[in-house]
């Protein structure tokens, strides 16, 4: 298993580089822009359906050798809560994961669940995500509408567009 990164709030992240070249039928895929562009197909010239052959199906798959990605997000849990950071709460499974990876001890948090979650799940500041406060306190002011802009793509969508199967379980605002 690749190194596991545990930040001080109990979120566990397995790192992944998405700009690793991938291959489709021996051709390199440009993963620097999403969605990955489908290759240009040759002009179809066969008019007799009995002699027709379909083009190869374009399918994006995660590159060989990339790690699985698991994010465990526990909100409302501060730095000194878990045993991994000297706290009183026993978290044996998280402690085992932390022991085999890195522990982050510097992290920015908004001290509120919704803004912290959206910042983690997108990699953008909570105000950039329009989540200046919890969603129930949203306003029409910029940075506080509670509606993520189309220009900010969540990490799960970036992974999905790179050929990963993604899923999320838990609470959302």
The catalytic position among 108, 113, 126, 127 is 113
DSSP annotation of 29: E
- Number of neighbours of residue 10 by Cβ within 10 angstroms: 22
The CA distances from residue 19 to 8, 145, 159, in Å, are 27, 32, 11
127 catalytic? Reply is: no
102 beta partners: 5
- Asked if residues 95 and 84 have their Cβ atoms less than 8 Å apart, the reply is yes
Q: Is 113 a catalytic residue?
A: yes
Give the DSSP letter of residue 82: B
- How far does the chain reach from its first CA to its final CA, in angstroms? 32
Catalytic residues: 113, 173
């Amino acid at each position: 298993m690749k190194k596991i990164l545990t930040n001080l709030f109990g979120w566990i992240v397995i790192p992944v580089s998405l700009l690793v070249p991938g291959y489709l039928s021996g051709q390199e895929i440009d993963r620097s822009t999403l969605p990955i562009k489908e290759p240009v197909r040759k002009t179809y010239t066969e008019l007799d359906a009995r002699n027709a052959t379909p083009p190869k199906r374009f399918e994006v798959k995660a590159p060989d050798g990339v790690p699985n990605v698991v994010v465990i997000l526990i909100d409302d849990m501060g730095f000194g809560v878990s045993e991994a950071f000297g706290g009183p709460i026993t978290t044996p499974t998280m402690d085992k994961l932390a022991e085999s990876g890195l522990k982050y001890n510097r992290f920015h948090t908004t001290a509120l669940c919704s803004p912290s979650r959206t910042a983690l799940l997108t990699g953008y500041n909570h105000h950039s995500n329009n989540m200046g406060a919890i969603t129930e306190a949203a306003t029409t002011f910029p940075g506080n509408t509670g509606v993520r802009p189309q220009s900010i793509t969540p990490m799960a969508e970036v992974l999905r567009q790179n050929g990963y199967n993604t899923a999320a379980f838990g609470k959302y605002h």
